[in-house]
Amino acid sequence: MRLILLGPPGAGKGTQAAVLSKDYSMPHISTGQILREAVEKKTSTGNTAKGFMDKGELVPDEIVSKMVAERLAEKDTKNGFILDGFPRNKNQAIQLDEQLKIINVKIDFVLYFKTSETTAIKRLTGRRVCPKCGLNYHTVNRPPKHDNACDMCRTLLIQRLDDNEETIRNRFKVYQDQTTPLLDYYSQTGYFKEICGDLGVNGLNKKLEELFKAEHIT
Ligand code: AMP
């Protein structure tokens, strides 16, 4: 299955992608996570990206689209993948379409997690992440089993630098201005599906399972 997850920051895309990736054995490709790893390693891409990410701005399209094209060329994407956080504007969507044509694959679903700003802000301000494996937690909705440590690898959880109030506000503005035009772009395709992103982790996952079942995807 080949999925694109669309929705504002805090819509639950990363959390659902992690669950689906495990359940359906397909790689979770999060451009945000790839960029954070590049920043951590201080690669030239990471050094360029950091300034944009710290402000909640989009990293230039040519950097991100190239990164995704390289990732999609890897063997593990052969039977499916989940794109989380890409594309983020119309230019990236066009570049992705061109890349998909080159590798001769089609997207099965663009899943739009329609989410209220109130829900999204609550999720982002309480979000904690594992800096090692990228797993997401929440201080209230999804606390780790052991005090502030990742359930999987026990690394101490952190709060993302861009999960502060000022940057969150800008990320929403960037989403409104640059990403929402993609709703028009994809809603004209037969594979666009809207899901209620305000549901909790399990509720949202259940909706997705129902959708896949209705579409005969197992
Ligand atoms: P995310 O983890 O998806 O919330 O992304 C975190 C940050 O990484 C964003 O605020 C952007 O600065 C950058 N980023 C992630 N994906 C993209 C993308 N497709 N295009 C441009 N910048 C991106």
Q: How far apart are alpha carbons 129 and 112 in whole angstroms?
A: 23
Q: Is the CB of 53 under 6 A from ligand 1?
A: yes
- pLDDT for 15 equals 92
Residue length, the chain?
218
Nearest ligand 1 atom, CA 85: 3
Give percent of the chain with pLDDT exceeding 90: 92
In three-state secondary structure terms, 218 is coil
Ligand 1 and 64: CB distance under 6 A:
yes
Q: Which strands sit side by side in the sheet containing 109-114, from one edge to the other?
A: 28-30, 81-84, 2-6, 109-114, 192-196
Read off the pLDDT band of 215 (50, 70, 90).
confident
Instruction: Report the range of poorest mean pLDDT among 53-62, 109-118, 208-217.
Output: 208-217
What is the homologous superfamily of the domain 2-116+164-202 according to CATH?
P-loop containing nucleotide triphosphate hydrolases (3.40.50.300)
Q: In which residue ranges of the chain is CATH 3.40.50.300 found?
A: 2-116+164-202
Cis geometry, peptide bond prior to residue 87 (ω within 30 degrees of 0):
yes
State the average pLDDT over residues 194-218.
Answer: 91
Mean pLDDT across the stretch 141-164?
Answer: 95
Determine the residue of 6, 59, 72, 95 to mutate for testing ligand 1's pocket, defined as the one with the most ligand atoms within 8 A of the Cβ atom. 59
Q: Is the CB of 86 under 6 A from ligand 1?
A: yes
Which pair of tokens denotes residue 142?
A: 């999804």
Q: How confident is the model at residue 134 (pLDDT cuts 50, 70, 90)?
A: confident
Does the pLDDT value for residue 5 go beyond 90? Answer: yes
Between the CA of 184 and the centroid of ligand 1 the distance, in Å, is 20
Q: Check if 13 is active-site.
A: yes
pLDDT tens per residue across span 15-36 = 999 999 999 999 999 999 999 9
* pTM of the model as a whole: 0.94
Which of 16, 29, 35 is the best mutation target for the ligand 1 pocket, counting ligand atoms within 8 Å of the beta carbon and taking the most? 35
Please report the atom of ligand 1 found closest to the CA of residue 9.
Answer: 4
- Identify which of 53, 125, 129, 175 to mutate to test ligand 1's pocket (most ligand atoms within 8 A of the CB): 53
- Provide the pLDDT for residue 121: 92
Ligand 1 lined by 171 (C-beta under 6 Å)? yes
Question: H helices within the chain, ranges in order?
Answer: 13-23, 31-41, 44-55, 61-72, 90-103, 117-126, 165-174, 181-187, 201-214
Cβ proximity of 165 and 125 under 8 Å: yes
